[in-house]
Amino acid sequence: MTIYYHGGPAGRRHGDRLLPPDETGAPSLSEFGAAGVHRKDRVYLTTSYPAALLYACTWPDGRVYQCQPVGEIEPDPDCTEAGLSWQCPSARVVEVIKPKGKELKRARRALGVPA
């Protein structure tokens, strides 16, 4: 069974649905230079915990969510590594992972995000 992750702000619980930015009004990568390759009507998942951690670290209280896709899951056409990034209409939280402070610090440093 494939394990999927999503990085984002704290606040989700086991069983919660992750919805796309066009339904929630949440910030979207489409607003930060990815318009044309990023869809606001999709939730993006990854099979890589470190990749999800990079997204989680952009939030002050970032979390990594282990998720199950809801609806049809498709490869992210913008991702050049097969099997790494996926898009789907929504996802259900299976587990909430609070990254260790050191993990977040390392990820922020890698992205150049202030600690």
111: tokens are 């992205």
Instruction: Work out the average pLDDT over 58-62.
Output: 87
Q: Which residue has the higher pLDDT, 78 or 98?
A: 98
β-strand partners of 68: 92
35: Cβ–Cβ under 8 A, 6 or more apart, which residues?
none
- Closest C-alpha to 40, from 92, 87, 91: 87
Task: Enter the DSSP assignment of 60.
Answer: T
pLDDT 10s digits, 14-57: 999 999 988 988 776 655 555 566 688 999 999 999 999 998 98
Q: How many CA atoms lie within 13 A of 9 on its CB side?
A: 6
Q: Give all domains of the chain, ordered by start, each with its CATH number.
A: 4-111 (3.20.170.40)
Task: Please state whether the predicted TM-score (pTM) of the whole model is above 0.75.
Answer: yes
Alpha carbon distance, N-terminus to C-terminus of the chain: 35
Confidence of residue 115 (pLDDT cuts 50, 70, 90): low
Pairing of strands 43-46, 74-75: unpaired
